[in-house]
Amino acid sequence: MRFLVISRGNGTRFIASIEEIEIIGAEDKAATVVTLDDSINESSLEEIETALARFKVIDDWRAGRCDILSAIEQLNISRAYLFKLARRYDPEAGYASLLMHKRGRQAKEKRLCEAVEEIIQRSIDSEYTGAAASISGVWRAVEKECIKRKEEIPSQTAVRERMRERDERKLYAKKYGADAASQIYEARPEKIITHRPLEFTQMDHTQVDIILVDDERREPLGRPWLTLIIDIYTRVILGYYLSLHPPSAVSVACAISHAVLPKHAFLSRFGIADGKYPYYGVPSVVHMDNAKEFKSRKFQLACKKNLISPKWRPLGRKHYGGHVERLIGTFMTTKVHFLRGTTYSNTKVRKGYDSEKNASMNFSEFSKWFANEVCIYHGRKHAAIDCSPASKWLGHFTNEDGRIAYPPIVADAFSFRLDFMPEETRVISPRGVRLHGALYWDSALTPLVGERNVVIKYDPFSMKVVWVRAAGEYIPIHLSDVTKRDYLFEEYRAYRMGRRHRADIKPGCLEDQSLISLMDENSAIVKTSVKLTKRQKKANAARDIYVNTYGHAGTEEPGSVKQESTRPDYSKRATCFRGNG
């Protein structure tokens, strides 16, 4: 490597190799060393073109191919300036030796003393932390420290320049966290390449950006949760599950079952034709994040038994689940955010909009709406695959003769559902099994009456039947009330959530708390009546005593003349007035 060396004393320039360079102390600033590459990189295109032209003319003049007058004429400079350029001319350095050297303080040259530089660096480390971190906050810390140490206070611009010299990713991580920095600055060379449907799927949870209402009072209930599985090759939504509670083993089991099995009963419930959602099949790989419900032992055993390979993202690498997360984001911004009661994606966008006041859909209505939107999504052209998900899926399973070869159906659908079904333990009572507010009975339970910790499995998509484990087998047990319609587990939970404010009220207690004001009013009426009655009784008693004592009630009209007057008998001894006593 070669360097262009410039003497600050007389401006002399010469080329030196790295072996000839000696590092001098900070106090010795007789020369400035600039690499030729830096000199070229910091020059403009016009400066480089000028240097090339001058180098060619001076090279010809030095070689005798032209005279001095011709050289001056070609370069349009003075004779003195030609000799100055000739002194800077270096055939080994080439045209770079003739690049203009800008006078004054060079870029990135620091003028602050070492003590202030250290204060700035320490302040950046200590103060630029957290989402509220700012350059002005760092500068205030620098200002305070400089005042304490009686150092010159640098400008905010100087502090900003020192921060720009820092690694951008590290600064971003200090402010927003390592995970956020990874999403922006980390390279993402990996790309999932698939060759067929069901080869690779992704599953994820999200809270839907809408507030639902309860069934009875149509009052705000809360935001539902969505667990969704997408097939990467076709972008088909292979299965999903809507819930009113945070993600759990129930959500995962239902989403897997919905994805793998045909959806006839599901579509029939919503009045949708089978052909609108014909996607099913056992995926080879299910890719997920590291949530505990995705890593439960029961879930992993069920996957292994049914030849499904679970894979988890590396910790802190959200972009590994980019396909399903982009799909969820698209659903929110293009569909959900146009519904009444939407919460939008953040408070800034939602500003001025009362989501709870505008909420109008209950869980059943939203479930129907979402099922329709999933079918509509499958029919829209997808930019990533240049066709609709439905066309991509159908194109793979259509033979050359035009017939459709559907994916193989799970041989024992019941056993598959049973593997992933959520389970609980119950006591078998003489009346049967009570699960989630419903009573189930069958004569097959008679030998089990009184047994504890009996495993009960249930299908959240159909609560009319549960399965009781007995002697190593599962026995189907139906609802005791045969007139009760079938219902979803989430419909039951929506009902319970709607009545949660009354769940702990005992019989005879007040349900409608707005009636408290009437109760207070009645109490006031009673107190007033008692007070008035006591007052009147005292007045009546006083009048009776007065009449008994003085012989009249003292109720003559003003100005009237008494017909008779009785004089007191002073011969009798006076008696004391004792009131009611």
- Residue range 310-331: average pLDDT? 74
- Residue range 363-375: average pLDDT? 92
> What stretches of 444-574 show up as alpha helix (H) in DSSP?
489-498, 516-550
> Are residues 383 and 271 part of one domain?
yes
- Token digits of residue 512: 């409608």
Report the alpha-carbon distance of residue 163 to residue 218 in Å, rounded.
Answer: 54
CA angle centred on 72, ends 67 and 77, rounded to 5°: 165
Q: Is residue 541 part of a domain?
A: no
499-538 tens-digit pLDDT: 654 455 566 666 565 566 777 788 888 888 888 888 888 8
- Token digits of residue 505: 């009220």
- Tell which of 98, 132, 167 closes a domain: 98
> Are residues 28 and 165 part of one domain?
no
Report the alpha-carbon distance of residue 179 to residue 189 in Å, rounded.
Answer: 18
**Given this model, what pLDDT does residue 26 score?**
43
Q: Is residue 441 part of a domain?
A: yes
Q: Is residue 134 part of a domain?
A: yes
Q: Is residue 326 part of a domain?
A: yes
> Are residues 122 and 91 part of one domain?
no
Q: Are 280 and 259 in contact (CB under 8 A)?
A: yes
> Are residues 230 and 329 part of one domain?
yes
Q: Would you call 571 helix, strand, or coil by DSSP?
A: coil
> Are residues 69 and 19 part of one domain?
yes
> Are residues 85 and 179 part of one domain?
no
256-288 tens-digit pLDDT: 989 999 998 889 888 998 889 999 999 999 998
Domain around 262: 201-397
SS3 annotation, 96-148:
HHHCCCCCCCCCCCCCCCHHHHHHHHHHHHHHCCCCCCCHHHHHHHHHHHHHH
The lowest-confidence range among 184-193, 422-431, 558-567 is: 558-567
Tell me the C-alpha to C-alpha distance, in Å, between residue 509 and each of 274, 329, 513, 520.
49, 46, 10, 16
Q: Would you call 441 helix, strand, or coil by DSSP?
A: strand
Amino acid at 201: T
Quote the mean pLDDT of the chain.
81
> Are residues 377 and 246 part of one domain?
yes
Could you tell me how many residues make up the chain?
Answer: 581
> Are residues 270 and 388 part of one domain?
yes
**pTM of this prediction exceeds 0.85:** no
- Token digits of residue 502: 């009354």
> Are residues 278 and 208 part of one domain?
yes
pLDDT band at residue 96 using 50, 70 and 90 as cut-offs: confident
- In 3D space, the residue among 174, 169, 105, 107 whose CA is nearest the CA of residue 135 turns out to be 174
> Are residues 376 and 245 part of one domain?
yes
**Given this model, what pLDDT does residue 1 score?**
58
Q: Is residue 558 part of a domain?
A: no
- Residue range 159-183: average pLDDT? 82
Q: Is residue 264 part of a domain?
A: yes
Q: Is residue 563 part of a domain?
A: no
Q: Are 57 and 25 in contact (CB under 8 A)?
A: no
Report the alpha-carbon distance of residue 3 to residue 20 in Å, rounded.
Answer: 10
Report strand pairing: 423-426 vs 309-312.
unpaired
**Given this model, what pLDDT does residue 208 score?**
94
SS3 annotation, 518-552:
HHHHHHHHHHHHHHHHHHHHHHHHHHHHHHHHHCC
**Given this model, what pLDDT does residue 440 score?**
92
- Residue range 431-450: average pLDDT? 88
- Token digits of residue 330: 């698209």
Residues 6+ apart with CB under 8 A from 123: 138, 141, 142, 145, 159
308-317 tens-digit pLDDT: 999 988 765 5
Neighbours of 330 (CB within 10 A): 12
Report the alpha-carbon distance of residue 245 to residue 494 in Å, rounded.
Answer: 9
Report the alpha-carbon distance of residue 231 to residue 569 in Å, rounded.
Answer: 119
- Tell which of 458, 482, 502 closes a domain: 502
> Are residues 216 and 362 part of one domain?
yes
- Residue range 191-198: average pLDDT? 84
Q: What's the number of domains the chain is made of? A: 4
The lowest-confidence range among 47-51, 329-333, 354-358, 492-496 is: 492-496
**Within 13 Å, how many C-alpha atoms sit on residue 453's CB side?**
0
- In 3D space, the residue among 315, 260, 264, 302 whose CA is nearest the CA of residue 283 turns out to be 260
Residues 6+ apart with CB under 8 A from 289: 204, 312, 313, 318, 321
Neighbours of 576 (CB within 10 A): 4
Amino acid at 515: L
> Are residues 125 and 87 part of one domain?
no
pLDDT band at residue 189 using 50, 70 and 90 as cut-offs: very low
**Within 13 Å, how many C-alpha atoms sit on residue 124's CB side?**
21
Q: Are 428 and 470 in contact (CB under 8 A)?
A: no
Q: Is residue 349 part of a domain?
A: yes
Percentage of the residues of the chain whose pLDDT score is greater than 70? 80
